[in-house]
Structure 1
Amino acid sequence: MEAMIEEVPSGVLVVDKDSGMTSHDLVAITRRQLNFKKIGHCGTLDPMATGVMMLVIGKATKLQDRLMSEDKVYDGSLKLGETTGSQDKESDIEEVREVPAYSDVEIKEGFEHFVGDFEQIPPMVSAIKKNGVPLYKLARQGKTVERKPRAVRVMDYQIHRVGLPEVDFTVHCTKGFYVRTYAHDIGQQLGCGAHLIALRRTRSGKFDLSRAIKTEDLKVASRQEIIDKMIKLDEIAEMLS
């Protein structure tokens, strides 16, 4: 067994996460396929989200904090006129409001309010802990607690489609950014409310989907196929320099 562990090189495996899976699911699958335990992940993705999930393997686990601190790019879709407790489509609709016939300019003004440095209040349905208890567990008990605002930054955004009540967009942001809170806050700014209905992470730092292994392929991949897909430590060092 020791020899087998030594054969696994250290590095990063970029996975294109499927919807409905958690970050922990991907770690468990990879541990099983590699028969290797020293594997972690760089930042969670909500179960409904798809896209770039970085798994750190072996000595690369020491780079976890550095890799998690990088900026991210997401493609998302929001739906105006409806708000939910989780700020996305994963929970029940709490309020419905009429969606005015906004022009493209008015939609853009809503997005423009959230550019540069600003603060977000994390959603109750999140992994942030209050007195050691994750907020999502408190939310399940019907509790709402005060959350401290977090400093975030949007470097850039694009609106790709306005088909009211839906809007498709891309946002380039700092770590710790909640895209569902972004969608919620844009809805509040516009005056009709909104929630996130789709989310895909396309880039995390310098890691993107171009070198990702699909979740369905990861489940059946051989040990060697996974090793071949990994980005090794020497290349990561160059990427981070």
Structure 2
Amino acid sequence: GNGTRLSEFVLTGDKTYLLSARLGVSTDTYDSEGKTIEQHDHHEVSLSQVRSALTGFDGEIDQIPPMYSAIKKDGQPLYKLARQGKNVPREPRRVTVKSLTLTEWDPPDFQLRIECGSGFYARSLAHDLGQEPRLRRAYDIAPSRKGREFHIEDSVSIDELTAGANDDSWTRHLLKPDYVLKHFDAICIGSQQTAAFTHGRAIDVAHNSSESGEVQVSVYAKSGELLGLGFHDAATSRLRPAKVFHAAIESSGATQI
């Protein structure tokens, strides 16, 4: 559906994690669900040592993804290889850590607030911290906190969803697909322009933008229906389609090719 076609704007956006980690333990999955493979005495690790170690993980860093991940190696997802007991070499990937803050300290447990770009693995950070000789071993024990416009404070428990299964009240928790496009400028077009846009043709639409060159925008019909995404150039007033939704094609009377 249209929601799936917009998933890239969730996956590629900046994210914020609240990462709870524990000193002295290492697992094969880099989290609390995995099998313990190493244990060390954590009592000599100090707060100042942790803070010092964190300075090496701020900014642009190279990070090796965990074996238990969906990244593919020679066409095979790493997690499938891991389940076969294999541990294969993984290429480090360049990721961005915009902010790294120690928010709680209760040894052996501590908590970090991480603001990062796409492709970052919080589990790998916990593991890499554990490789620091001063810190022995660590693993993460907490989920992601926020991604773009999604906040854990707004999340719904499984029990809440189950309770609303009989009367369909669970549907009130659903978000419209264009919720993930809130950070885009929106352009509204008329019926004739809608027919052209949904046929994949560029159209002329006046729209002011503070950015130069082409800017990605969400495109709506006057009815409020999301037609798709496009790229608009304020200098030329040209809007070219980038992604048009099937429902919009049908409602405009266009024939899908």
Query: How do 1:1-241 residues align onto structure 2 when only pairs under 5 Å count?
Result: 58-222=1-165, 224-233=168-177, 235-241=179-185
Contact 1:98/1:192, CA 8 A, preserved across alignment: no
1:227 partner amino acid: T
| Cα distance in structure 1, aligned partners of 2:39 and 2:174 | 46
| Cα distance in structure 1, aligned partners of 2:179 and 2:32 | 38
Q: Secondary structure at the match of 1:112?
A: helix
Q: 1:160 to 1:190 in 2, by over 3 A?
A: farther
Alignment gaps of 5+ in structure 1 = 1-57
Q: 1:95 to 1:70 in 2, by over 3 A?
A: same
Contact 2:130/2:139, CA 8 A, preserved across alignment: no
More displaced stretch, 225-234 vs 161-170: 225-234
Q: How far did 1:236 drift?
A: 4.3
Q: Secondary structure at the match of 2:119?
A: coil
Contact 1:78/1:194, CA 8 A, preserved across alignment: no
Q: How far did 1:163 drift?
A: 2.2
Q: Secondary structure at the match of 1:231?
A: coil
Q: How far did 1:190 drift?
A: 4.3
Q: How far did 1:100 drift?
A: 4.9
Q: Which runs of 4+ in 1 moved over 6 A?
A: none
Once the two structures are superposed, residues 175-225 of structure 1 have per-residue CA deviations (whole angstroms, 9 ceiling, x without a partner) of 221111101111212444323242132210122134332222122324753
| Cα distance in structure 2, aligned partners of 1:235 and 1:95 | 43
| Cα distance in structure 2, aligned partners of 1:234 and 1:121 | 33
Q: Secondary structure at the match of 1:127?
A: coil
Q: Pick the structure with more helix per residue.
A: 1
More displaced stretch, 109-118 vs 76-85: 76-85
1:147 partner amino acid: R
> Percent of counterpart pairs with the same letter?
32
Contact 2:21/2:141, CA 8 A, preserved across alignment: yes
Contact 1:114/1:154, CA 8 A, preserved across alignment: yes
Q: How far did 1:92 drift?
A: 2.1
TM-score by length of 1: 0.68
| Cα distance in structure 2, aligned partners of 1:114 and 1:197 | 15
- Between Structure 1 and Structure 2, whose CA radius of gyration is higher? 2
Paired residues, what number? 184
Contact 1:82/1:95, CA 8 A, preserved across alignment: yes
TM-score by length of 2: 0.64
Q: 1:139 to 1:200 in 2, by over 3 A?
A: closer
Q: Secondary structure at the match of 2:81?
A: helix
Q: Secondary structure at the match of 1:180?
A: helix
Match of 2:189 in 1: none
1:99 partner amino acid: H
Match of 2:248 in 1: none
